[in-house]
């Protein structure tokens, strides 16, 4: 049974040392009771209390990790219904499914473009996360060959799909030393599938067409010692899958209903045409899938899905940042101009892309502004003349360029006077307000 904040508080050291990031042990206990933090944040809890608090501090949605060859996909461990309440942590893995009615060569050909897909989005590489292999042949040897071909074509984590334990066993034999997801256990085969999951240390999907049945099955399977479970509420329509996913999430988070406290897998690929697949996959990413399986790799579908995922799973309190430093654009020389901006990713890429696209060489000084855009950082006192002057020194800018000239973003023209004082001997120029106008300014005014 869940403990109250006061009950948890009594088991904490009660020293108010603040090492957990909270001002008091009571504040931390309240957060713990609300499932919004993990017990591990307090390094001083006694082993005895840890054991007692284990149930209460366990995440309401279990963390399940698939791993292979140093790659991993994590799902679960979420603590809120809505991103605006706090943040979502573990992005749903995007998997491409192949079936064993294809030849090994055809499987490799289907996987190759998805495996090679990599797009840089504001400094982050977006890629597929893994592959699923499904047995439609029902033949263990055919399935084993398909799994082998898939493993030969990718090093990413795999999901194996078959309801037949003998077929699944043949596929698992190909994946020694990995932690795949096997899919799926139902009311007919759950004991055999649970045995396989246990012996191969695999995570196991549990599939049922009602939440009651799903909860009953997870109870039986976890009692057999298989804890890494993934739920497949077998609803494939847009509305029914959304209702099931929302109910499961609510029951896990709001009611602490352990039997449904696991991440979910969805199969938008079953929807058929590309439009429906895209919409269902987008819905699943937003609410509340841990693994999303599609059947066709189309870059024009996958890219927006990955960007959507990135946006939803970015902590709104931590802007996407680039590393402060002196960046080179188009192989600048000592005579190339020096521009300055903040380390908010979108600001950095707006400036860098405009200058790079225009083919102009330049140095771009990116200052530490806690990931804020130029105007926001200036208003918050994080982008001022003192910081710019400090970063010019810190990154050895003067040693790289001949002409001591620096171009300020037009939005902070107001800093030019102070900067002249903080950087004596430097010429301070005020550039345009918008990045799009930089190439013209650089050609005409520098
Ligand atoms: S780290 Fe532990 S002991 Fe220190 S304030 Fe937090 S809960 Fe209390």
User: Which pLDDT belongs to residue 55?
Assistant: 67
Angstrom CA distances, 164 to 140, 150, 170, 188, stand at 9, 19, 10, 10
The number of the ligand 1 atom at minimal distance from the alpha carbon of 24 is 5
Q: What is the pLDDT of residues 261-287, one digit of tens each?
A: 999 999 998 888 899 999 999 999 999
Ligand 1 atom with the shortest distance to the CA of 18: 5
Which has the minimum average pLDDT: 233-237, 302-306, 350-354? Answer: 233-237
CA neighbours within 13 Å on the CB side: how many for 168?
29
Distance in Å, CA 40 to ligand 1 centroid: 10
Residue 213 has pLDDT above 70, yes or no: yes
Mutate to test the pocket of ligand 1, among 5, 22, 53 (most ligand atoms within 8 A of CB): 22
CA distance 342 to 354: 16
Q: Sheet containing 405-408: which strands, arranged edge to edge?
A: 325-329, 362-367, 338-342, 405-408, 427-430
Pocket test for ligand 1, best of 17, 32, 33, 57 (most atoms within 8 A of CB): 17
The pLDDT of residue 56 is 64
pLDDT at 153 over 90: yes
- Summarize pLDDT for 158-172 with one digit per residue, the tens: 999 999 999 999 999
Nearest alpha carbon to residue 127 among 148, 157, 100 = 157
> What's the pLDDT score for residue 86?
80
Output the ligand 1 site: residues, CB below 6 A.
Answer: 12-13, 15-20, 22, 25, 28, 42, 44
Provide the percentage of residues in the chain whose pLDDT is more than 70. Answer: 99
Residue with CA at minimum distance from ligand 1 atom 4: 17
Residue nearest to atom 2 of ligand 1 (CA): 42
Ligand 1 centroid, distance to 41 Cα (angstroms): 8
Among 11, 15, 30, 45, name the best residue to mutate to test ligand 1's pocket (greatest count of ligand atoms within 8 A of Cβ): 15
The whole-number pLDDT of residue 372 equals 92
At residue 382, does pLDDT exceed 70? yes
The residue contributing the CA closest to ligand 1 atom 6 is 20
Question: Measured in angstroms, how far is the CA atom of residue 255 from the centroid of ligand 1?
Answer: 26
Give the SS3 label for residue 323.
coil
The arithmetic mean of pLDDT across residues 395-416, rounded, is: 95
Average pLDDT over residues 333-358: 94
Mutate which of 6, 44, 49, 50 for ligand 1 pocket (most atoms within 8 A of beta carbon): 44
Mean of pLDDT values over 98-115 = 97
In the reported structure, the alpha carbon of residue 52 is separated from the centroid of ligand 1 by a whole-number distance in angstroms of 17
- Domains in the chain (CATH in brackets) are 5-57 (1.10.15.40), 64-312 (3.20.20.20), 325-445 (3.40.50.11600)
Would you say residue 2 has pLDDT above 90? no
pLDDT attached to residue 57: 65
User: Per-residue pLDDT averaged across 213-242, rounded?
Assistant: 95
- Strands 181-185 and 158-161, by their bridges, are parallel
**How many Å apart are CA 231 and CA 364, to the nearest integer?**
48
Counting ligand 1 atoms within 8 A of each CB, the residue from 6, 11, 16, 38 with the most, and so the one to mutate, is 16
For the cut 60, the answer to whether the pLDDT of residue 208 exceeds it is yes
- pTM of the full structure: 0.78
What is the average pLDDT across 17-34?
90
C-alpha–C-alpha distance, residues 342 and 193, integer Å: 53
Looking at residue 50, what is its pLDDT?
85
Instruction: Identify the residue with better confidence: 120 or 140.
Output: 140
Atom of ligand 1 nearest to the CA of 19: 1
pLDDT at 1 over 60: no
pLDDT band at 445 (very low <50, low <70, confident <90, very high): confident
Q: Ligand 1 centroid to 21 CA: how many Å?
A: 8
The whole-chain average pLDDT of the chain stands at 93
**Mean pLDDT confidence for 216-241:** 95
Classify residue 355 by burial, with Cβ atoms within 10 Å: 0-12, 13-18, 19+. buried
What does the pLDDT read at residue 308?
96
For residue 288, pLDDT over 90 is answered with yes
Residue found by looking up tokens 């088991």 in the block: 11
- C-alpha dihedral sign at 218, 224, 227, 228: negative
- Provide the edge-to-edge strand list for the sheet that holds 93-99: 229-233, 203-208, 181-185, 158-161, 130-134, 93-99, 291-294, 265-266
Q: Ligand 1 atom closest to Cα of 17?
A: 4
Average pLDDT over residues 375-385: 94
Residue 81 CA to ligand 1 center (angstroms) comes to 27
What is d(CA 351, CA 64) in angstroms, rounded to the nearest whole number? 40
């Amino acid at each position: 049974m869940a403990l109250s904040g006061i009950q948890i508080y009594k088991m904490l050291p009660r020293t108010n040392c603040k090492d957990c990031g909270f001002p008091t042990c009571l504040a931390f206990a309240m957060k713990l009771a609300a499932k919004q933090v993990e017990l591990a944040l307090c390094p001083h809890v006694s082993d005895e209390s840890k054991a007692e608090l284990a149930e209460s501090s366990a995440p309401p949605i279990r963390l399940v990790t698939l791993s292979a060859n140093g790659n991993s996909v994590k799902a679960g461990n979420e603590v809120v219904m809505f991103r605006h309440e706090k943040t979502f942590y573990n992005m749903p893995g995007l998997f491409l499914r192949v079936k064993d009615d294809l030849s090994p060569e055809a499987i490799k050909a289907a996987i190759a473009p998805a495996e090679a897909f990599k797009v840089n989005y504001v400094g982050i590489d977006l890629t597929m996360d893994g592959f699923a292999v499904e047995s439609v042949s029902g033949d263990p040897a055919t399935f084993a060959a398909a799994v082998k071909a898939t493993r030969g074509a990718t090093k990413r984590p795999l999901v194996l799909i078959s309801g037949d334990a003998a077929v699944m066993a043949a596929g698992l034999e190909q994946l020694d030393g990995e932690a795949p997801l096997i899919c799926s256990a139902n009311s007919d085969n759950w004991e055999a599938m649970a045995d396989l999951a246990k012996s191969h240390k695999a995570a196991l999907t549990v599939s049922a067409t009602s939440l009651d049945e799903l909860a009953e099955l997870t109870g039986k399977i976890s009692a057999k010692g298989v804890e890494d479970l993934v739920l497949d509420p077998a609803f494939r329509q847009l509305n029914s899958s959304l209702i099931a996913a929302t109910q499961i999430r609510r029951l896990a988070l709001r009611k602490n209903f352990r039997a449904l406290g696991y991440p979910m897998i969805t199969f938008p690929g079953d929807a058929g045409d590309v439009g429906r697949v895209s919409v269902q996959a987008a819905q699943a990413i937003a609410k509340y899938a841990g693994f999303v399986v599609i059947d066709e790799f189309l870059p024009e579908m996958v890219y927006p899905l990955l960007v959507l995922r990135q946006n939803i799973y970015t902590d709104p309190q931590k802007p996407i940042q680039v590393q402060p430093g002196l960046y080179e654009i188009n192989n600048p020389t000592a005579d190339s101009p020096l521009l300055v901006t903040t380390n908010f990713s979108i600001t950095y890429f707006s400036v860098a892309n405009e200058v790079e696209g225009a083919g102009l060489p330049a140095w771009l000084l990116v200052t530490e502004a806690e990931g804020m855009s130029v105007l926001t950082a200036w208003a918050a006192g994080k982008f001022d003349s003192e910081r710019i002057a400090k970063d010019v020194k810190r990154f050895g800018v003067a040693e790289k360029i001949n002409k001591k000239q620096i171009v300020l973003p037009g939005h902070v023209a107001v800093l030019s006077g102070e900067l002249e004082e903080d950087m004596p001997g430097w010429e301070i120029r005020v550039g345009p307000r918008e990045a799009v106008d930089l190439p013209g300014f650089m050609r005409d005014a520098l």
